[in-house]
Structure 1
Amino acid sequence: MAWELLSVIGIIAFAVSGAIVAMEEEYDILGVYILGIVTAFGGGAIRNLLIGVPVSALWEQGAFFQIALASVTIVFLFPKLLLRHWKKWGNLSDAIGLAAFAIQGALYAVKMGHPLSAVVAAAVLTGSGGGIIRDLLAGRKPLVLKAEIYAVWAALGGLIVGLGWAGNAIGLYVLFLVLVACRICSYVFSWRLPNRSYHIDQ
């Protein structure tokens, strides 16, 4: 039940972020719903393709789809009311979603007996894949690849799960809290990975 609650928080956070981006780009109501749903479930769909789980398994999450649709509807109908609170709690909700989805993606891959590399990839794609798809559909550079450290925390979670260092429920919850704290710190203190720009002179 606890993991389901965390998943709900993550789905709401990702669905809302997708809807907000769509409205910022002035998409119509269909575009808002599509971007919201894709952001919430896109990472899981890519993960399923990667590790061999039928993509149709996503359609069995009827309750989660209803939650995502309701979240997008609230954003579309009451944008000012929600955004006032979203600026305060949005990053925390997003961090919770990232951590929960990354760990779940890693557990999926471990359960199917995949190697460590696939476990890490499943964690990254589940945790940040939806955001990447959202930004690409919105014509933006994916924020998870250029803003504060994001996907690295999902990879770290996948690595720890894949190595068996969080082999019980307590270990998984501790890992979850660590990932949430790391993501919040990277946002608050603007932690970034090293980067280098390169332009060819004409």
Structure 2
Amino acid sequence: MISWELLNIIGTIAFALSGVIVAMEERYDIIGVYILGFVTAFGGGAVRNLLIGVPVSALWDQELLFTIAFLLMTGAFFLPQVWFRHWTRWGVLFDAVGLAAFAVQGAIFAAQMDLPLSAAIAAAALTGAGGGIIRDLLAGRRPLVLSRDIYVAWTVPAGLLIGSGLVDQFFGYVLILGGIVSLRMLSVYYNWQLPRRQLPSS
């Protein structure tokens, strides 16, 4: 499906750049940049495959995506500092686009395998947020999905709508993607937070 390939490319580009930005903020060397970028772009898919029974080795069939990610990360690493300072402002946007594209892709993957709705929701969440979680852990940061930001919750509509069969056309996928990106950016801008509780310190 053209929608599958397009979402794969969008998500890979967005998350690879997100990983590069985080790596450079943490002052990693070029190998660290590659590792963080690749993990961010492909880690969620690997976790999803483990969950729904697809061989992890299927990731190696995406040679074109690995090449695209490698070239993008190399170009970003060697950009002049002045360009990088401007790019850091877009780090949250890259992350939001990757989250949305991979959430939709994960839900499509589960739906095409005729898995139940719960699997579609889980696949959307893990594909969308898995790479970012691994990235943050490797960078020594508290993962967004575990902090007060509303992050992984925005993947649930993709799993619900696609997994239930309510949305099964490319235009609908695009609307879901745009909605997730918009909600994620709004939640960052307005500092929306999920309810939380904290035990009193002893």
User: TM-score if structure 2 supplies the norm length?
Assistant: 0.89
> Structure 1 residue runs of 4+, over 6 Å off?
none
Taking the aligned partners of 2:175 and 2:40, their CA distance within structure 1 comes to 26
Matches of 1:39 and 1:101 in 2, distance apart?
11
| SS at 2:166 equivalent | coil
- The separation in 2 between residues aligned to 1:16 and 1:174, in whole angstroms, is 23
Shift of 1:6: 4.1
1:194, distance to aligned residue in structure 2 (A): 1.2
Q: Structure 2: 5+ residue runs without aligned partners? A: none
* 2:54 is aligned with 1:68: no
Task: String of CA shifts for 1:111-147, please: whole Å, max 9, x gaps.
Answer: 1122111111100010010000011112221023214
Q: Counterpart of 1:57?
A: 58
Taking a change above 3 Å as real, the CA distance of residues 84 and 181 of structure 1, as seen in their structure-2 partners, is: same
The root-mean-square deviation of aligned C-alpha atoms, in Å, is 2.0
Contact 1:47 1:125 in 2 (8 A): yes
The residue that corresponds to 1:192 in the other structure is 193
Percentage of identical aligned residues: 57
Shift of 1:99: 1.3
d(CA) in 1 for partners of 2:172 and 2:125? Answer: 19
Q: Deviations over 1:139-166 (max 9, x none)?
A: 2210232143111111221111112221
CA distance in structure 1 between the aligned counterparts of 2:109 and 2:6, rounded to whole angstroms? 18
Rate the CA distance shift 1:170–1:78 in 2: closer, same or farther, 3 A.
closer
Corresponding residue number in structure 2 for 1:20: 21
2:137 alignment partner in structure 1: 136
Equivalent residues in 2 for 1:1-202 (5 A)?
1=2, 4-78=5-79, 80-201=81-202
Query: Aligned residue pairs: how many?
Result: 201
Q: 1: distance between equivalents of 2:144 and 2:80?
A: 22
Aligned partner letter, 1:89: W
CA distance in 2, matches of 1:190, 1:15: 25
Tell whether the 8 Å contact from 2:21 to 2:88 is kept in structure 1 after alignment: no
1:17–1:147: structure 2 CA closer, same or farther, 3 Å change rule?
Answer: farther
Query: Structure 1-normalised TM-score?
Result: 0.89
My pick for the range that moved more, 143-152 or 126-135, is: 143-152
Moved more, 125-134 or 66-75: 66-75
| Alpha carbons of structure 1 residues 140 and 91: separation in structure 2 relative to 1, 3 Å | closer
Taking structure 1 as reference, are residues 90 and 25 closer, same or farther at Cα in structure 2, changes over 3 Å only? closer
State how far apart, in whole Å, the 1-side matches of 2:190 and 2:66 are. 34
Q: Give the drift of 1:88.
A: 4.1
- Of 104-113 and 168-177, deviating more is 168-177
- Bigger shift: residues 136-145 or 48-57: 136-145
Which amino acid in structure 2 is aligned with residue 61 of structure 1? Answer: Q
Q: Distance in 1 between matches of 2:149 and 2:161?
A: 21
Q: 2: CA distance between counterparts of 1:69 and 1:5? A: 18
Measured after TM superposition, the shift of residue 91 of structure 1 is 3.0
Deviation at residue 199 of structure 1 after TM alignment: 4.3
Which region of structure 1 is more displaced relative to structure 2, 120-129 or 19-28? 19-28
2-structure distance, mates of 1:121, 1:82: 37
Could you tell me how far apart the structure 1 residues matched to 2:174 and 2:108 are? 13
Query: CA 1:79/1:189 → structure 2, altered by over 3 Å: closer, same or farther?
Result: farther
Given the superposition, is the C-alpha separation of residues 49 and 79 from structure 1 closer, same or farther in structure 2, using an over 3 Å criterion?
farther
